Chain A
Amino acid sequence: MSIEETIREYILENFLFTDDQSLLSSEDSFMEKGIIDSTGILEVIFFLEEKFNVKVDDDEMIPENLDSVKNLVAFVGSKA
C-alpha cells in the first residue's frame, strides 16, 4: 500500500468512520470540512510517528503540513 493509500485509509477509518473513498479527496482541507479538530490532529501526529517512524516537531504542526491527505503525503515524503 502506498503512503497516500495508507494515510487516506487511516483518515477515512478513524475520522469519517467509513470506507467510502468518494467522501475524501486528496486536496480536502481537514479543518474546512470539519474532519479533524485540535485534539484530532494529535491523533494524526501519533499515527504519523508510529506508522512512518517520523518525528513531528511543535513548529511543524501547521496546516501546510497536516491539513489534507496531499499535505500529509508531502510532509512524510520530506521526512524520508
Chain B
Amino acid sequence: MCGIAGICNILSNELITEQKLSAMISMLYHRGPDGKGFYIGQNIGLGHARLSIIDLDTGSQPIHNEDKTVWVTFNGEIFNYIELRDELKKKGHDFYTSTDTEVIVHLYEEYGDDFVTYLNGQFAIGLWDTKRSKLILVRDRVGIVPLFYKQENGSLLFASEIKAILAVAKESPKLDPCSLDELMTFWAPVSPNTMFQDVYEVSPGQMLVLKNGQINKRRYWDWEFPLTNDEYNLENIDSLAEGLHELLVDATKIRLRSDVPVGAYLSGGLDSSVLTSLIHHYGNTPLRTFSIGFENQKLDESLYQKEMIDYLNADHSRITCSDSDIADNFEKTIWHTEMPVLRTAPVPMSMLSGLVHSQNYKVVLTGEGADEVLGGYDIFKEAKIRQFWARNPQSKFRPLLLKRLYPYLDLSKGQAYLQNFFGTAIQSPELLWFSHLPRWETTARCKDFFSDEMKAKLNKNDAISRIAQTFPSSMSKWHTFNRSQYIEAKSLMGGYLLSSQGDRALMSNSVEGRFPFLDHRVIEFANRIHPKHKMKVLNEKFLLKKAESQYVPENIINRYKQPYRAPDIPSFFGNNTSPEYVNALLSKSKISEYGYFEPDRVDRLVRKIKRGMAIGYKDNMSLVGILSTQIWHHTFIENNYENFGK
C-alpha cells in the first residue's frame, strides 16, 4: 500500500504548491517510506508516498496516460492487472511502466467513470482528467483502503489519512459529537462520518466526481442479497462447495502477485488456517507465517497455531504481547487509528505488523472477512436463536438454546440476566437491526459517562436512527441472516476491523494486508448462497468447512470459534500503577477541560478499577473508550503528535 493526498480547487484560485502537497505527504511516511512524487497542474495537485511492491524500478507515482492528459495517484493493489493490461494493450494502449497503477489511466480512457467496475482489488484512487478538469475519488468495494476528504474555502483536500488533511487545513480540527455517539454504539462512526467535524470518508464502493464546481457521489457497488428464495443459487451443496473452493484458490493466487515476498497471518482459527493451507497448496511462494500470542493464557491460541505450523511445515515467527505492551503502545495506536477505540485489540495487531516489518516482509495475506461473508460470527447464531425464541416469547425452553453459545462464558450464573440481555427486542423480530440490538445497547452504556454538555450537542435522532437511514430500501425483503451480514459488514467490519484493527495497524509498520475472502467475486458468490448452507443449525461457516475440509486438520475445523481479544483494563492499571499519560488524561481536571465526559463519574470508575472491582464489559469498554477519546483529543485537537510521525 501507499499514501495518497491531493488538493483540487473547486471555486478557489489559490496556488497549489509542492510544499503544501509535501506537508500532506510527509504525514503519511509510515504508509509509503520508499519514495514520494507529485503532480501539479491547473487547479490540481496530486501527491504520493510509495511503498514499493510491484515494479520497484519504474513505478513512481503519480502516473499518467500516453499524452499526459490523465493522471492518477493510487494507494492499493489491482490484483487482476495482468489480465487488464493484456486487454488494454490489445486495444492499442501503450504502457511505460509494469505497474498495476498504470492500468487505471488506460482503463479510464477506455471506459470513463465505469473503469472502476473492471478492477479486482483494494484501492483508493485520485484521478485527474486534464481535458475535462475533472477529479475522481474512488474507493474499493468493501473499504479495505482508506480515503478521506474535506471541503474548505473553495478547495477540496483529500488523503489516505486525516492527519495529512489536518496538516494543511486552515480550520482547527473539532470533534463531531454525533460521531462519538455513533462510535460508542457501533464501534465506529457511520460512514461517511469521521471523528472530525467536516471531514468525511469516501464510503466503501463509492465514487466522488468533482467537475464544474459540483461534487457528485454515486455508489458503484454494494452488498446485495436475494429478494426471494428463487434468487439463491440452487445448485446442490457439493457444487456450491466446489465453486467456493475454486474462487478462494483464485482469490488467493492473484493476491500472491508481487515483486516482493508475501507472508500470511496465522491466528490458529479456521479462516487463517484455510488461507495458509491454500497458499501452501496452490501458491508458488514458500509459506512464511506470522502470529501473535498473549501472556494471558485465556486469550492465547498458540496451541492451534502450532498445530497448523506443524501441518504445513511453515517458516513461522511469533511475538508475545504482554499487558504492559498495550499500555506502552496505546497512545501511538490512537495516532494511527484517528478515532477512539472500545477495545485495545488494535495494539497487538500493530505489534504483529511490526514483527512482519522486522523480518523484511511488506505484504501479508489475512483471513479477515470470512466471518462476514460466510457466516461465522456468534452474533449470527445469537440472532438465529433469538428469532426462534421470538416466535414464542413466553417459551421457557427456547432461550435455553443460548447455553449452546459462548462456552467460554459462565452461563450457569446469572442466567436470567443473560436472557434479559439476549431478549432485547424479542417482541419485535421484524426490526431490520434485530440481530445487532443487544450488542448496540450494551456498547451504548459507555455513553452513560457523557457530560451534560456533550449530551446537549447530540442530534435529537439517535445513533440507531442515523445508521438505519444508510440501509438500502430492499433490505426488508432480505432473509434475516443476510440483514445481519450486511449490518456487520457495513458497520463493524468497514468501520473498525478493516480500519483501526486492519489498515491502520498494518500501515503503522508499512505492511500491506491482502484479504482473499473479501475478493468481490467471493462475496457476490457467497451472497447468493442460502443462509442454511452458511450456518447449518448452529454450525458456523458450514460451507467453508465443507469446501476446505481436506486442506485443514480436523481439530481446526471442529474447534470452537474463539474471538480475537486483547487485555483491556489490566493493561492500564496492573500492579496498582498506571502510566503517567493515563493518570494525566483521566484526571478530573483533564476530563473537565476536554468536556466530553462527566468528571465525577469517570473518577468513580477509575476508583472502582483501582479497587479491583471492575469486571464487566461496560466498565472495560467505558474505560478504554474514555481513555482513547482523551488521547484522541490530546493528540489531534491539541496538536501533540510530533513524537509519532517519522
Interface set of A (CB-CB < 8 Å, partner B):
13-14, 16-18, 31, 34, 36-43, 45-46, 58, 61-63
Contacts and interface: CB of A to CB of B under 8 A. Distances in A.
A43 B415 contact: no
A37 B622 CA distance: 14
Contact of A58 (B412, B420, B615): B412
Contacts of A45: 413
Nearest to A30: B417
Contacts of A58: 412-413
Main secondary structure of the interface of B (DSSP, over half): helix
A17 B448 contact: yes
B119 to A, nearest CB: 45
Given A42-B615, A63-B416, A17 B441 contact: no
Interface residues of B, number: 26
B618 A37 contact: yes
B132 interface: no
Contacts of B441: 34
Given A17-B449, A17-B601, A18-B604, A39 B416 contact: no
Interface string B406-433: 0000001111111011000000000000
Contacts of B616: 37, 39-40, 42-43
B414 A61 contact: yes
B417 A31 contact: yes
B605 to A, nearest CB: 6
B617 A37 contact: yes
B596 to A, nearest CB: 15
A61 B448 CA distance: 26
B456 interface: no
A38 B421 contact: yes
B408 to A, nearest CB: 13
A36 to B, nearest CB: 7
Contact of B442 (A13, A37, A61): A37
Most interface-central of A18, A36, A38, A42 (chain B CB within 10 A): A38
B634 interface: no
8 contacts: A13-B608, A18-B601, A34-B441, A37-B442, A37-B618, A38-B420, A42-B413, A61-B416
Contacts of A36: 417
A61 B613 contact: no
Given A31-B420, A40-B616, A17 B604 contact: yes
Contact of B617 (A18, A39, A62): A39
B421 A37 contact: yes
B417 A38 contact: yes
Nearest to A18: B601
Interface in B592-614: 598, 600-602, 604-605, 608, 613
Contacts of A39: 414, 615-617
A36 B617 CA distance: 11
Nearest to B618: A37
B445 A61 contact: no
B413 A62 contact: no
Contact of B613 (A16, A18, A37, A43): A43
Interface in B535-587: none
A13 to B, nearest CB: 6
Given A58-B412, A62-B416, 16 more contacts: A13-B608, A16-B448, A17-B598, A17-B600, A17-B601, A17-B608, A18-B600, A18-B601, A31-B416, A42-B413, A42-B414, A43-B616, A58-B413, A61-B416, A63-B416, A63-B417
